[in-house]
Structure 1
Amino acid sequence: MMQVSSSAAAVEVPHYFLCPISLEVMRDPVTLSTGITYDRASIERWLFSDGHDTCPVTRRTLAPDEREATPNHTLRRLTQAWCAAHQVERFPTPRPPLDSCRISALVDEGRHGGNGKEAAALREIKAIVAESDRNRRCVKATPGAVDFLVSVVSKHSTSSKSSQFADQDDFLEVLDSPTSTSSPAEDALSVLYSLKPSERSLDQILERNDDFLDTLVSVLRRPSYRSRTYGILLLKAMTAVMASSRLTTVSADLVQEVVRVVSDRVSSKAVRAALHVLCRLCPWGRNRVKAVEAGAVAALVELLLDEGGRRVTELAVVAIDHLCGCAEGRSDLVAHPAGLAVVSKKAMRVSLATTESAVRALHAVARHSPTPAVMQEMLSVGVVAKLLLVLQVDAGERARVRAKEMLKAHARVWKDSPCLQAHLKAFYPC
């Protein structure tokens, strides 16, 4: 039995008051269909946050409709009575669980009550979602809730005002500090992000709102860093489920705003999301050219020069690899004073995937843009030395094949050059 300290003495807690997961007294006991009782916070964390689909005690698999537990009022009353009898501080009575009727009422109020009611409904929904995972699931499952949030984003992000600071309200919205008042669009975006919509839900948003990608472009143009972060995170989720036919037709404006998130360093989370979006978009249609025209190569090179985290580096090199698939991308990489040097530097330093992408990007340059100036730069900034190193270590078979192909193709320029260190010439492939 567990011991609990009271004003009188340490007392032993009966085992049936203890949650099988936390081994602490259950504040809000709930019972699963298997007949086992748990504390609500512990079992909901097990099922929904940790992603399990079994009863922890019986290990029986639970169907989706069996994962909502039933409050055990009898056990809660017994626990309260025991606490009173042993002079142990009683747990407060838990509030009744949120139901979809309350959310539906808020959505209706927000839709039909004017701007003031809309803002109030949004704030309450935001507070409800932040309170618990259960509330988040309830909001997500309420018919019309996601559509309401999307409509608010669309309504307030595509303003037709001629000036960004047309009135005092607009000015207040750009004061991006913790004490500033969030705009309705920002509140709706934050709730949408926290709901983590399913693939089906994201598909439905795109199907029902043909211009929603244009709405996200407007969001990414806003001066608020929070709005831009929520916008790019939502765009990342959407591009992950979009069909290739839709990815091929994204606008140049959208690609430009994604690149701006990277170049502006909106936030570490936003930059990672933007890199994911670039890597998703670039293989399709003319998106490579759109990204290059938006300044993607320079933004990515500067990001790599700042020695970002492992995942940022990996994604940035993959994006450069994609961009080197077009002549414009290769030209921009060669034109940047640090382009070739920083790409070769990242090979062998992060992961096999990064090495492969870096070597593939360099291979594209060496194959399609082998001007004397480029060949000499690859030699002087250490690209050739790095390619020789790739041959000597376990850098992945595809990277080794491409490195060897480059070294052989340009042996006449590189092999006997005085710029190549003497000890490296012994490793040069024949």
Structure 2
Amino acid sequence: MKETEVKLPDDFRCPISLEVMTDPVILSSGHTFDRASIQRWLDAGNRTCPVTNLPLPASPSLIPNHALRSLISSFLPGGLPAASTSGHHLDSLLLARLSFPSDAATLAAVLRLAQDGGGAGFRRLVADSGAVSVLLRHAPAADRPDLQDLALRALIHVSLDGDDARLGLLAEGALDPVVSALRGGPAAALAATLLTSLAVVDVNKATIGAHPAAIPGLATLLRGHDGRQRREAATALYELCKFAGNRPRAVRAGTVAPLLHFAGEGSERAVQVLALLAKCREGKDEMRKTVGFVRALTDVVRTGSPRGVEHGLSVLNLVCSDCQEMALEAIGEGVSGLCSVLAGDMDPKIGRNATELLLRLEILSSPCMTPNRRDR
């Protein structure tokens, strides 16, 4: 590519060739390269990222970085040549109509294409066509809830095309508009669902959690009265909190109390999230300060579903560990008797958790223990 007189940012240059990229693509490591350079690297038999040296899948995918390509093109007087594409193309009429602001009929057509117009190949077509950028601009537009709904639904189906699609959506700048859609209204549940899908990729968990409004936005939905929004928010938090770094963030966002309330209403997912939060010091401390926490979890263990019982026992195990005060409270709520019965449960996870908790309560309630000992 001929150099121009314009001073271009270093991020426009391929880490391999050091030339300005004409067809930037994202590797599964999250780094961007010019397609020709990274393809030569892979064709030579290399299966590590040239930047991080971390291993790559046996058949690495190259995701078009439309956002960066557009940015590079805007810096160059003549722009970039059209990127080569393969496979199917969106209908020319649909392409002609696909712009911002769009209309309901056009977005509905894009949704049908992403949803059932031919499976993964057609979802990939939507992603590679540039339609994603239009969908993302509609995602936070609460003033047009009909268009917002269609856009978020289409983005959810695009994300179902696999981890590469999820990485690509974040690279396209999906996080800000999706988090903005969490602020309320009928689209908030869809935004939480999309965050759940994006968070399936481990590197995305950290990126989403680091956004200053993502986890707090989910916490706000948990405190609301819309059942669907609460369910989707709990599911998104469960996926995000599999990454340990997000657990203290969730605690600081004030999720413990609404999760406890939701668990008391029979939400298995809420109990699962509490089990993850109890694995961090901040989570245990917050649970120990929450009035009625042990009583609520005891009710879950007493009347919950098998999965709720399993995770409820796990939470009590963690909260009572090294804390005689909580152990004595649990004994007072009848947890020891429950554990004696559940220790013989046919579900091995329930039996194991009950046995461990019963032993812990016996140790912490023994006369040799210092009264009311808390190790924070």
AA in 2 matched with 1:123? A
Match for residue 187 of structure 1?
Answer: 150
Residue 356 of structure 1 contacts residue 398 of structure 1 at CA under 8 Å; is this kept in 2?
Answer: no
- Percent identity for Structure 1 against Structure 2: 19
1:240 maps onto 2:222 in alignment: no
Match for residue 254 of structure 1?
Answer: 214
What 5-or-longer segments of structure 2 have no aligned partner?
A: 1-86, 369-376
TM-score by length of 1: 0.56
CA 1:376–1:399: 2 relative to 1, 3 Å: closer
AA in 1 matched with 2:197? A
Match for residue 316 of structure 1?
Answer: 270
Residue range with higher mean Cα deviation, 147-156 or 251-260: 147-156
AA in 2 matched with 1:216? V
AA in 1 matched with 2:210? V
- 1:348 Cα offset (Å): 5.4
Q: Distance in 2 between matches of 1:132 and 1:208?
A: 19
AA in 1 matched with 2:177? T
CA 1:139–1:405: 2 relative to 1, 3 Å: same
Q: Distance in 2 between matches of 1:265 and 1:201?
A: 35
Q: Distance in 2 between matches of 1:148 and 1:403?
A: 54
TM-score by length of 2: 0.63
Which of the residues 91, 97, 101 maps onto 1:103?
Answer: 91
Which of the residues 277, 287, 295 maps onto 2:254?
Answer: 295
Residue 258 of structure 1 contacts residue 274 of structure 1 at CA under 8 Å; is this kept in 2?
Answer: yes
Kindly provide the CA deviation profile for residues 235-279 of structure 1, in whole angstroms up to 9, marking residues without a partner as x.
1111123437746853242111122222214342x4333222222
What 5-or-longer segments of structure 1 have no aligned partner?
A: 1-98, 160-169, 174-180, 415-430
Match for residue 381 of structure 1?
Answer: 333
Match for residue 33 of structure 1?
Answer: none
Residue 229 of structure 1 contacts residue 266 of structure 1 at CA under 8 Å; is this kept in 2?
Answer: no
- Counterparts of 1:59-78 in structure 2, within 5 Å, are none
- Counterparts of 1:11-26 in structure 2, within 5 Å, are none
CA 1:346–1:215: 2 relative to 1, 3 Å: same
* RMSD of equivalent CA atoms: 3.4
**Count of residue pairs brought into register by the alignment:** 280
Of the two structures, which has the highest relative contact order with CA contacts closer than 8 Å and spacing of 6 or more? 2
Q: Distance in 2 between matches of 1:339 and 1:206?
A: 39
Q: Distance in 1 between matches of 2:209 and 2:352?
A: 32
- 1:290 Cα offset (Å): 0.7
- 1:297 Cα offset (Å): 0.6
Which of the residues 204, 209, 220 maps onto 2:182?
Answer: 220
Kindly provide the CA deviation profile for residues 42-68 of structure 1, in whole angstroms up to 9, marking residues without a partner as x.
xxxxxxxxxxxxxxxxxxxxxxxxxxx
- 1:202 Cα offset (Å): 2.6
AA in 2 matched with 1:331? D
AA in 1 matched with 2:315? A
Which of the residues 89, 99, 119 maps onto 2:102?
Answer: 119
Match for residue 352 of structure 2?
Answer: 398
Residue 154 of structure 1 contacts residue 215 of structure 1 at CA under 8 Å; is this kept in 2?
Answer: yes
CA 1:219–1:134: 2 relative to 1, 3 Å: closer
AA in 2 matched with 1:256? P
CA 1:208–1:346: 2 relative to 1, 3 Å: same
Q: Distance in 1 between matches of 2:254 and 2:337?
A: 29
